[in-house]
Amino acid sequence: MASINFADLEAGDDLPPRELKLDSAFIAAHANAIDMTAPRFTDDEGARREGLPGQITPGAMSMGLFATTLMAWAPEARLTRLGCTFRSLAHAGIVARICGMVVEVDMPRRSVECEIWMEDKASGDRLVFGTATLQFPDPPLV
Amino acid sequence: MAGSTPGKLTRQALTRPIQTVAKPQRWRTKPRVSFLEIQRAEIGRDYECSVLPPITAEELIEYARTLGIEDPLWLDPEAARAGPLGRLVGLPTFVVKLRGSFYVPPLAASEMSRSGFVGFDGGKDIEFGVPIEPGDSITVRSRITEIYEKTGRSGSMVFLVYRQELRNQRDELIANVDSRMLQKIPPLPTPTVDGDT
């Protein structure tokens, strides 16, 4: 992904959308990596035993995917804040689309506020909604 | 580290035996302990101070790898040494793994432990500090910051917000993680009229 220039950023700029399949093995591997091994995160059968229709994505994983999306977009910036609301369950098997937008640029502080969300590509339903702050480094002295 | 500063961790605090409270292990259909039963006086008071096992490079790499990261800066200590930070660090959201314990109301600890299920995870707000590194020994301090009710289209809910403050062995802030747990409030039973049995 091409590097972005802080000076060129404006409110309303879109982040490049990212699509990824939330397949069962992908979710289970990450759930294990973060010690969230409840059956609802590891397999359909376990999730059904817990009263859910099937395996779901941990909210913490959605936050990780948001962070990596933001960091891929602005690799030189530092993520200083990320807030998320888990609105709906992100079921295993869906194709998730992660979208974002710049909502505020603070030129003196060299920081950027973004909205970022995950939607189900098929239905368009927003599953997780978040806001983030990115801090850009000072420009090199000339 | 300023050992005598109120609110700051001391070496003694870092080495004293940690409080052990049961972590919720299983989802259950109904919460047995309502957030509304928690005493207001407990809001803002630390209910936990735990020192977690040292962070390993392997778990930082595993976290990145299972998010689909392919950049060797996050996966290969050698490549990271040649990178901008000169060392391997964790992705910022790795802190979600560093959970202390969920709040257990003192008067209902046994009941909470038995029921396990505490509510739905409504969301998180994380303020990130310094990066986490292999070998870091993280101290987690946890406290409830807010309990409030909200009524929406799906009925009434009660929210419990708790903060987990993560600091490394140099007392540097790694992250403040604010989690919002929610419980649905069951509707009141339909009142009976006089004469009904």
**Is position A113 within any domain?**
yes
Q: How confident is the model at residue A3 (pLDDT cuts 50, 70, 90)?
A: confident
Are B66 and A26 in contact (CB < 8 Å)?
yes
B101-146 pLDDT, tens digit per residue, is 554 444 344 444 444 445 678 999 999 999 999 999 999 998 889 8
Q: How confident is the model at residue B193 (pLDDT cuts 50, 70, 90)?
A: low
Q: Cβ(A95)–Cβ(A20) under 8 Å?
A: yes
**Is position A90 within any domain?**
yes
Domain that holds residue A83: 10-22+57-135
**Is position A83 within any domain?**
yes
B112: phi then psi, degrees, rounded to nearest 5: -65, -40
Q: Return the pLDDT at A141.
A: 73
Are B27 and A64 in contact (CB < 8 Å)?
no
Q: What is the mean pLDDT of chain B?
A: 76
B10-33 pLDDT, tens digit per residue, is 333 333 334 434 444 433 344 455
- CATH code for the domain of A87: 3.10.129.10
Q: Return the pLDDT at B102.
A: 52
Q: Return the pLDDT at B194.
A: 57
B179: phi then psi, degrees, rounded to nearest 5: -110, 140
Residue B192 has pLDDT above 70, yes or no: no
Are B122 and A86 in contact (CB < 8 Å)?
yes
Residue A123 has pLDDT above 60, yes or no: yes
DSSP string, A18-58: EEEE--HHHHHHHHHHTT---HHHH-HHHHHHTT-SS-B--
Distances (CA, A) of A78 to A104, A113, A133, B128, B186: 16, 12, 8, 9, 43
Q: Is B52 on the interface with A (CB under 8 A)?
A: no
**Is position A84 within any domain?**
yes
ipTM for the complex? 0.95
Domains of chain B in sequence order: 34-55+101-184 (3.10.129.10)
Domains held by chain A: number: 1
Calculate how close chain B gets to A38, using CA atoms only, in Å.
7
Provide, as residue numbers in chain B, all residues whose Cβ is less than 8 Å from the Cβ of A83.
Answer: 123-126
**Is position A47 within any domain?**
no
Q: Cβ(B176)–Cβ(B165) under 8 Å?
A: yes
Report CA B185 to chain centroid distance, whole Å.
Answer: 23
